[in-house]
Chain A
C-alpha cells in the first residue's frame, strides 16, 4: 500500500458497541484499502470480522444498529461518529453502491423475486433507475467477469454453491463499487469453485476495486493479499505484509487456520486401518437413488441417478471420509444413513438391521446426522433447549440436562446455554449443531462438511469430539471437500464419483 495512492476506504474505529451490549465488539481497529489492492482481515471465530465487514459496507449502520466512535472515509467523503444522536447517518442504498458486501451466506443477498440470473444481477440497477440498454450492457459485462454468461437464463434457486457465490459477488460488483468486502468467499466451495472465485477476485482487482476479504483461514487467497490485518477479540493484534506475519505469534494465537501448518496428529492412515473385524455399524448394499427430474423435462430424463449400485461398510471405531466435487451427491448419501432419504434400490442396514420400514426418529437413536448448513439443524429458542431436544424422552430430566451440559462443554459453549442459536457466530452455530449430534451418543456419526467455517480452536474441538466418539466405539462418516483434513482424520478416504464410491 503506497503512501501516494489515496485509499478507497479508510476506517478508524475507536469502538463499536451494539445497542444493549455493555462492551464494544470492536475497538481500536484501523483499516485502509487502496484501489486495486487485496486486504485480508484474518481472525478466528468471534473475532469481530463479520461485524467489521458489515460496518464498512453499511449493512450495520452506526446509530441504527449500535454506537460507533471513529470515522469512515470513502474517497473524499469523511464521516465522523461520536456515538451521539446527531452523528451522520449512512444511507445503505447509496453507500452500498460504493462499498459492496457479500455475506458468508451468499443466498442471503438475493432478492428472491427475480426468476433468472440476469434479472437478479440487474435488480440493484433497476432500483437505481439505470436505462434498460445500459443495464443489458452492465449485466453482460458482469456476467463475463463472474463467469456467469452461460447461466444468465437459469433460475437462481437452481445454482450450485460456487455459482451462487459468483452471482452474489456479481450482484455486489455490478454497480461498480470502489470497495468490495467479501466474507469467507471460499467457504464450502470445492477446488474448482474456489479457483473460479479466486479468478473473479483477480479480475475485480485488475478493474481497480479495493477488495477486502474476511477469512478465518490463511489460505491460498489470503496469501495473495498485499496486506493482512489480524483481528483477535475485536481488536487488531498485528498488521502488515503476509510474509512478515506468517509465523507471528499473533497469528498463532488468533485461531486462524494456517493450511500448511504441520498437524499435531499424524496421518491416521499411516498408523492403523481402523477396521476391527467387528460387525459393521453401517452397511449399504447396492444402493441406488435418483431425484425426480423437474417438470417439463423429457421422459427419458425423468430421473437423474445420484447413487448407483453403491456398497459401503463402516466398522465400529472407524472413520471414513467421503470426498467429491460439489453436487456429486455426498449429502444425498448421508441422508440415506438415517432414512431422511430412502433408496430406490438396495438396502441400508444400521447395527445389523435394515432401516427400510423404521421411522427416521427411531433410526436417530443410532445415527446422528450433522447437516451441511447449521441453520438447517437448529430450530430451538436457546442453545440449551437445542441440545436437549429429544433427550428428555430417552434419558429422563436429570440425565438429559447433564448430558446436554456435557455436550456443550465439549464444544466450548458452556457459557452460551441461554443464548439464541441465531445470535451465535457462524462457527459456533456449527459447533452447537455438532453438540446436538454428540449429545445423543449415536453409534454412527454422519458429518456433512463439519470443518466449514471453523477456526483452529473449532477444528480442535471437532477433532476431540470425533476422537471421543470413536473411543467409545462409534463409527464416523464425514463428508468433506477438504482432502488434507480427510487425510489427517480418516482411516479410509472414498471419492463419490458418478454415483459410486471409489477408494482414494
Chain B
C-alpha cells in the first residue's frame, strides 16, 4: 500500500477525511474513522508506533476534556451526579465525547499518514510542485531530527559513562544525568549545524534557480482524479457545515 500510494494522495486523503469528520460533527462517524485508521495502521505494520503515539497525545487530552466539560458544563441540564460546584451532566459528557472523538479521528489519521509516508517521496513530490527546496529540507530534517538527537545523546552518555559517570535507575540520578548531557548536546547540535551548512553550500543547495529531482514518484491519473474528488468532497462538507450553522450563529 505504501509503495503504490503517491505521498500527495495519502496527504490529501488524510486531510480530506479529517476535514469531513470535523464538519460532519458526529461522534459515531469520528469513532468509526479513528477505528478505521487503527485497522489500517495494523495492516500497514505501523500500529506499534501509531497507537502508543496516539495514546500519548490523546490520553491527557481526553482526561482534560472530561474534567472541563464532563464536570463543568454550564449549559448542562440533565444532572447525573453532583459534588459541590462540579456537576456531571449528560450534555457535558456528550460534548466531551464529541470533541474527544473528533480529535481522536484527526490525530489517528495524521499519525497514520506520517508513519506510513515515504519521506523522500514526499519531499520529492513537494519539490516537483515548486515548493521551495528549503521547505522540503526542513520537513525531512524535522522528521529525522529526533533519531539524530537520540543517537547524539547516546554517544554523549557513553562517553560520560566511560569516564566514570554512574547511571542508576532512579529518577533523580536520571535527571542529574540529563542536566550533564544537555549542554554538550546543544553545543554538538550547533556545531553539526555549522558544518552541515558549509557542506550544503558547497553542494549548491543555496544557489537558487530551477531545481530538478532525481527521484521519480509515479503519480497515476487515477490518483490525481481521486485527489480532486477528495478535495471537492472536503470543500462540500465545509460548505454544508457553514450553511447549516451560519443562520443559527447569526440569530444567537
B162 touches A126 (CB 8 A): no
Closest B residue to A422 by CB, please name it.
B191
Q: Is B123 an interface residue (CB 8 A)?
A: yes
A436 touches B163 (CB 8 A): yes
B204 touches A127 (CB 8 A): yes
Give chain B nearest CB distance to A126 CB in angstroms: 5
B183 touches A127 (CB 8 A): no
Are A361 and B141 also in contact (CB < 8 A) when A59-B198, A129-B211 are?
Answer: no
With a cutoff of 8 Å between Cβ atoms, the chain B residues found around residue A123 in the complex are: 203, 205, 214
Interface string of B208-222 (1 = CB under 8 A from A): 011111111000000
Q: Is B178 an interface residue (CB 8 A)?
A: no
Are A390 and B165 also in contact (CB < 8 A) when A132-B213, A378-B159 are?
Answer: yes
Q: Is A113 an interface residue (CB 8 A)?
A: yes
Closest A residue to B120 by CB, please name it.
A115
B164 touches A379 (CB 8 A): no
Are A389 and B163 also in contact (CB < 8 A) when A119-B120, A379-B188 are?
Answer: yes
With a cutoff of 8 Å between Cβ atoms, the chain B residues found around residue A132 in the complex are: 212-214, 216
B166 touches A361 (CB 8 A): yes
B206 touches A93 (CB 8 A): yes
Closest B residue to A57 by CB, please name it.
B202
CA distance A113 to B184 in the complex (A): 24
With a cutoff of 8 Å between Cβ atoms, the chain B residues found around residue A94 in the complex are: 207
Interface string of A253-268 (1 = CB under 8 A from B): 0000000000000000
Interface string of B151-165 (1 = CB under 8 A from A): 000011011111111
A379 touches B159 (CB 8 A): yes
Within 8 A of A (CB), among B52-103: none
Give chain A nearest CB distance to B148 CB in angstroms: 8
A376 touches B158 (CB 8 A): yes
A129 touches B209 (CB 8 A): yes
Closest A residue to B136 by CB, please name it.
A113
Within 8 A of A (CB), among B158-188: 158-168, 181, 183-184, 187-188
CA distance A82 to B156 in the complex (A): 43
Q: Is B196 an interface residue (CB 8 A)?
A: yes
A389 touches B160 (CB 8 A): yes
Are A126 and B207 also in contact (CB < 8 A) when A112-B141, A112-B144 are?
Answer: no
B159 touches A371 (CB 8 A): yes
With a cutoff of 8 Å between Cβ atoms, the chain A residues found around residue B226 in the complex are: none
B164 touches A124 (CB 8 A): no
Q: Is A369 an interface residue (CB 8 A)?
A: yes
Are A127 and B214 also in contact (CB < 8 A) when A378-B159, A390-B165 are?
Answer: no
Q: Is B200 an interface residue (CB 8 A)?
A: yes
> Which of A35-43, A103-111, A205-213, A230-238 forms contacts with chain B?
A103-111
Are A112 and B196 also in contact (CB < 8 A) when A59-B202, A360-B162 are?
Answer: yes
CA distance A390 to B177 in the complex (A): 13
Q: Is A338 an interface residue (CB 8 A)?
A: yes
Are A114 and B168 also in contact (CB < 8 A) when A132-B213, A132-B214, A135-B212 are?
Answer: no
Q: Is B199 an interface residue (CB 8 A)?
A: yes
With a cutoff of 8 Å between Cβ atoms, the chain A residues found around residue B205 in the complex are: 93, 111, 123, 127
Q: Is B140 an interface residue (CB 8 A)?
A: yes
Q: Is B133 an interface residue (CB 8 A)?
A: yes
Q: Is A171 an interface residue (CB 8 A)?
A: yes
Within 8 A of B (CB), among A106-161: 108-116, 118-119, 122-132, 135-136, 139
CA distance A113 to B215 in the complex (A): 13
Chain A residues with a Cβ under 8 A of chain B: 57-59, 91-94, 96-97, 101, 103, 108-116, 118-119, 122-132, 135-136, 139, 171, 175, 338, 340, 359-362, 364-365, 368-369, 371, 375-381, 389-390, 393-394, 422, 436, 440
7 cross-chain pairs, A with B, having the tightest CB-CB distances, nearest first = A361-B166, A390-B164, A93-B207, A379-B184, A122-B214, A127-B204, A360-B161
A and B contact pairs by CB, cutoff 8 A, 22 listed: A92-B202, A93-B202, A96-B202, A101-B202, A108-B195, A109-B202, A113-B136, A113-B144, A115-B120, A123-B203, A126-B211, A126-B213, A128-B207, A132-B212, A132-B213, A359-B168, A360-B162, A379-B156, A379-B187, A380-B184, A390-B163, A440-B163
